[in-house]
Structure 1
Amino acid sequence: MKTTTDTSTTGRLSTMAPERQAFVLLRTVFTVAPIVFGLDKFTNILTDWTTYLAPVATSVVPVTPQTFMYMVGVVEIIAGIMVAVRPRFGSLLVAVWLLGIIVNLLVLGEYYDVALRDFGLLVGALALNRLAPVGSWHRRR
């Protein structure tokens, strides 16, 4: 009598293979976080996001810092949705986006701690990309 659990149909995180657990956790975080941060660009509840913007950004794109942050928010929301729908592509979009944020912070010459944190997130996004299947997990297994 075989008593193994088919995790592809149960969906319970505790019974999934470790690589599947890692994929689900990373996909969840990289879906929720960009969407929340993107929405907050419109409300500034978590922080005043314009303080993290290097002045050179608004000289390249001639808009007010807040308008620039609105555009950033839209991109972040789209990136989060892409991670949910197409994790292989979305994870790369998030990684590139984080690289842009890191460069911005280094150009600003402040918030090196945030730049380092975002580098860790970039590595996590790349790990998600490596774990994300080309098709669905059901077809891969």
Structure 2
Amino acid sequence: MTTTAFARVRHSTPAHHAFLLLRTAFTVAPVAFGLDKFFNLLTDWPGYLAPWIDGLVPGTAQQAMYAVGVIEIAAGLLVALRPRWGALVVAAWLAGIIVNLLILGSYYDVALRDFGLLAGALALARLATPPRP
């Protein structure tokens, strides 16, 4: 089997399709949500910031959301360019969001959803890991 034929077979596997789906989702979603931190079209993002975290960071809650937006955009772009490492960054970021939401005490449903996203990000990191010889 030629190298090209091998690559075609390898890239037609369900695992590769799952990798592409997760890579796309974890690129687009963080970038989209990160951009929305500047416009608050989807929700009032500062309302999701735990007061004690707001007290730790300088400026207003909205200014903190601007920083969050930049980090989320960067994380999404990292997933696009280096999915193995970007997925781990996104997973860690989601863990922080989950802790923040649990501390807020009124967004348990969103925290549970983000836990599912964290599991998906870890699956992407695993799928992006090259096989050992």
Normalising by structure 2, what TM-score? 0.90
Matched, 1:114 2:86: no
Report the more deviating stretch, 55-64 or 30-39: 55-64
Q: For 2:16 and 2:26, how far apart are their aligned partners in 1? A: 15
* Alignment partner of 1:82 out of 60, 74, 78: 78
Runs ≥4 in structure 1, deviation > 3 angstroms? 5-10
Matched, 1:29 2:25: yes
Aligned length: 130
CA contact (8 A) 1:7 1:16 kept: no
Residue of structure 2 equivalent to 1:102: 98
Residue of structure 2 equivalent to 1:65: 61
Gaps of 5+ in 2: none
Shift of 1:62: 2.4
Shift of 1:6: 3.9
Shift of 1:63: 1.7
CA-to-partner distance for each residue in 1:72-107, whole Å, 9 max, x for gaps?
Answer: 000000000000000010000000000000000011
Q: For 1:120 and 1:30, how far apart are their aligned partners in 2? A: 13
1:63 partner SS: coil
* Alignment partner of 2:88 out of 89, 92, 114: 92
Gaps of 5+ in 1: none
CA contact (8 A) 1:88 1:134 kept: no
Q: For 1:113 and 1:77, how far apart are their aligned partners in 2? A: 24
Question: What fraction of aligned residue pairs are identical, expressed as a percent?
Answer: 64
Normalising by structure 1, what TM-score? 0.85
